[in-house]
Structure 1
Amino acid sequence: MTLRHLRIFVEVCRTGSITKAAESLHLSQPAVSLAIRQLEDYYGILLFDRISKKLYLTESGNKMLSYASHIIESFDDMETQLKNWDSAGTLRIGSSISTGTQMLPQLVRRFNLRFPQIRTQVLIDNSRIIEDKVLTNQLDLALVESLSYSPDIICVPFYTDRLIVITAPKHPLTQNPECTVKALADYPVLLREPGSGTREVVDALLVTAEVQITPLWESTSTRSIINAVKENIGISILPYELVKNEIQSGAIAGLPLASPLPNRTCSIIHHRNKYLTPSAQAFIEVCQEYSNLSTE
């Protein structure tokens, strides 16, 4: 099998059509169909289910797509590296929303000062979506708070932050010197959306404490939650680093719990088969330096 076969296969997956892939690659439809058939015959697998004239990736096809995407990316990286040794190009960085709000701007600024010739392209979304894009090679690496259970993801912890309960300054809970997780269920709760790293940690905490909470608000915006807490719409649980300025200014209150809240671990993730360019490795080093400075 050749790189040409893999490029044709990936393009068929991207477009969802033999016809559209042929048009995009400036090939004939029979040539595209033949390449797909040759791949299937060579590996003895079915890459697509063909139902009502539509193509649907099989489980084997999904696995092939993961490998093919990274093989093509590695080859293209090799071409760039050997010709230019990463002297210019684009580094595609993903980030969960909390990490993207809290520390990513500082990290990118530090990286850009050292490597002004490298363009940093950033995508900020919830952890689950970011991980999916790392798996499909749409991102070179990413910063997330959630743990990955995919065997194809390398996860390197680099920063730890604690979670804290926040309320309006005169909320009834502020009169209790030490409240419990169960006491939180008596009030409206505002949480990050399912799929975010912070939400996963909070959900695990509630399960451990055997507390059931139906959030009044669920939001992808940490800032909207903080502002709603200021207006006494509800209480929330968020990373301390994101709310410490508001706590110090008195705009909101941070509450201690009888059982301390768990820490939130931020990690650098990348695909197991991903070739890390010198610029990607340099960005990881910048992240690790940030962690060292934050803990000094």
Structure 2
Amino acid sequence: MDLTQLEVFRAVAEEGSVTAAAERLHRVPSNISTRLRQLEEDLGTPLFSREKLRLHITDAGRTLLDYAIRILALTEEARQRVTHQQPAGIFTLGAIESTAAVRLPQLIARYHQQWPDVELDLSTGPSGDMTDGLFSGRFSAVFIDGPPKHPQLDGVAAFAEEMVLISSLNHPPVPNAASVSGSTIYAFRANCSYRRRFENWFAAEHAAPGKIFEMESYHGILACVSAGAGLAMVPRSMLESMPGRESVAAWPLAEHAGLLDIWLVWRKGYASGNLRAMVAMLEDASQ
């Protein structure tokens, strides 16, 4: 088992096919197939089940993928530290939507000015998708609400955030969750950490929301709430950046329950030059 075989295996696992992996690695498909077969023979176990033109990763393959990601990341880290390589190349970054919209534009602009050879590839989505992308190798690092709870993740606090409850302007004051138990709420999908915080806020007071409508954007949430159709919990920084923010009332959560930190999170053992440069920039900004 060598590094080339691991690179080929990881590409096939992430792309889902030999052809796509070949395009990604700039190799011919026959070479990819040969390397993959040699690796399976070396390990004595199939890493993929084959169904016509489709590949499905096996349990053994999933186990190896976890190690392959860490081994290749450590190899790259060692190469960069030995050669003192400056930040350069593609830096794949993920972020929850509110952080990407409000917090990252200035950070990314400063990063690009300092490290113009880095090509930042930014994607947004719910926190659950961001974490999954981190473990699959899709992202080098992600901005999510933290701190990270998984033992294989590491990170640094990046931005202070406050969640607030929003309602229509004519809604009565909201002193606590019990006062709005049974209310219709608007939120993102179930794998959104902000939605979990909203539901936990109710549960902490033995209350519960009524019907939950899943939305795809903060603008859609704001429109529904301003029309008096229900309530939502959103980051204050996101609300203050949106047109139409005057059409809703914002209620802080009692006892600082809405305060949290957004963290930059990555897999332990992976610390590329690109990532270290961004961590240093965040640490400088906090001083």
Q: Which TM class, normalised by the smaller chain length?
A: 0.7 to 0.9
For normalisation by structure 1, the TM-score amounts to 0.80
- Give the counterpart of 1:204 among 196, 200, 218: 200
CA shift for structure 1 position 153: 1.5
> Taking structure 1 as reference, are residues 7 and 242 closer, same or farther at Cα in structure 2, changes over 3 Å only?
closer
> Taking structure 1 as reference, are residues 156 and 274 closer, same or farther at Cα in structure 2, changes over 3 Å only?
same
Which structure 2 residue ranges, 5 or more long, are not aligned? Answer: none
User: Secondary structure at the residue paired with 2:9?
Assistant: helix
Residue 232 of structure 2: aligned partner: 236
Which structure 1 residue ranges, 5 or more long, are not aligned? Answer: none
User: Secondary structure at the residue paired with 2:122?
Assistant: strand
* Contact map agreement 1:189 1:236 (CA 8 A) in 2: yes
> Taking structure 1 as reference, are residues 120 and 159 closer, same or farther at Cα in structure 2, changes over 3 Å only?
same
1 CA distance for matches of 2:39 and 2:192?
Answer: 37
> Taking structure 1 as reference, are residues 22 and 120 closer, same or farther at Cα in structure 2, changes over 3 Å only?
closer
User: Secondary structure at the residue paired with 1:253?
Assistant: strand
Amino acid at match of 1:281: R
Alignment of 1:1-296 (within 5 A): 1-17=1-17, 25-26=27-28, 27=30, 31-32=34-35, 34-41=37-44, 46-49=46-49, 55-75=55-75, 85-86=85-86, 88-146=88-146, 148-171=148-171, 173-174=172-173, 179-244=175-240, 250-256=246-252, 260-277=256-273, 279-291=274-286
What RMSD over aligned residues (CA atoms) do the two structures have, in Å? 3.3
> Taking structure 1 as reference, are residues 22 and 258 closer, same or farther at Cα in structure 2, changes over 3 Å only?
closer
2 CA distance for matches of 1:208 and 1:269?
Answer: 27
Deviations 1:72-118 (A, max 9, x none): 35545666776782253222211111211220112112222322332
* Contact map agreement 2:185 2:211 (CA 8 A) in 1: yes
| Sequence identity percentage | 18
**Range with greater deviation from structure 2 (152-161 or 12-21):** 12-21
For normalisation by structure 2, the TM-score amounts to 0.82
Deviations 1:113-136 (A, max 9, x none): 322332222111111111111112
* Contact map agreement 2:147 2:157 (CA 8 A) in 1: no
* Contact map agreement 1:189 1:234 (CA 8 A) in 2: yes
* Contact map agreement 2:156 2:279 (CA 8 A) in 1: no
Amino acid at match of 1:286: M
2 CA distance for matches of 1:249 and 1:220?
Answer: 18
Amino acid at match of 2:262: C
Q: Flag the structure with larger Rg.
A: 1
Amino acid at match of 1:118: V
2 CA distance for matches of 1:18 and 1:119?
Answer: 26
